Amino acid sequence: MPDYRITVHTGDVDSAGTDANVYLTVFGSNGSSDELQLDSGRDDFERDSADTFTHTLKDLGDLYRVRIRHDNSGSRPGWFLDRITIRDEDSDKEWSFPCSRWLATDEDDSRIDRYLDLA
């Protein structure tokens, strides 16, 4: 089973970071992952940062979509997500999923759940 390196890029705008719990589901030509909680134990998802997580998953094939969401918890849950990149460490394939939008109940379209398609 391959290791997938998931890098989440938080944007560089005022109050871009989040204190909420963040979850990701990955979709590929061979199926989808379970929902993954992205948490390193550090202060993740701060303004203008890139946080990396590694998960061992079944071979998902060629990736084409991700679902990213947060649970709107914490004192500052709103989040400006720039993009997500995922690298299959076994095959060295890499995919990029741009967002450049808020996941916030009080910003943009008030959604905290987004599907992102391959760039």
Quick: pLDDT tens for 80-119: 999 999 999 999 999 999 999 999 999 999 999 999 999 9
Residue with tokens 């061992």: 56
pLDDT value of position 118 = 97
3-117: CATH number: 2.60.60.20
Quick: pLDDT tens for 37-83: 999 888 999 999 999 999 999 999 999 999 999 999 999 999 999 99
pLDDT value of position 57 = 96
- β-bridge mates for residue 82, sequence order: none
Report helix, strand or coil for 79: strand
- β-bridge mates for residue 87, sequence order: 5, 94
The whole model's pTM is what? 0.96
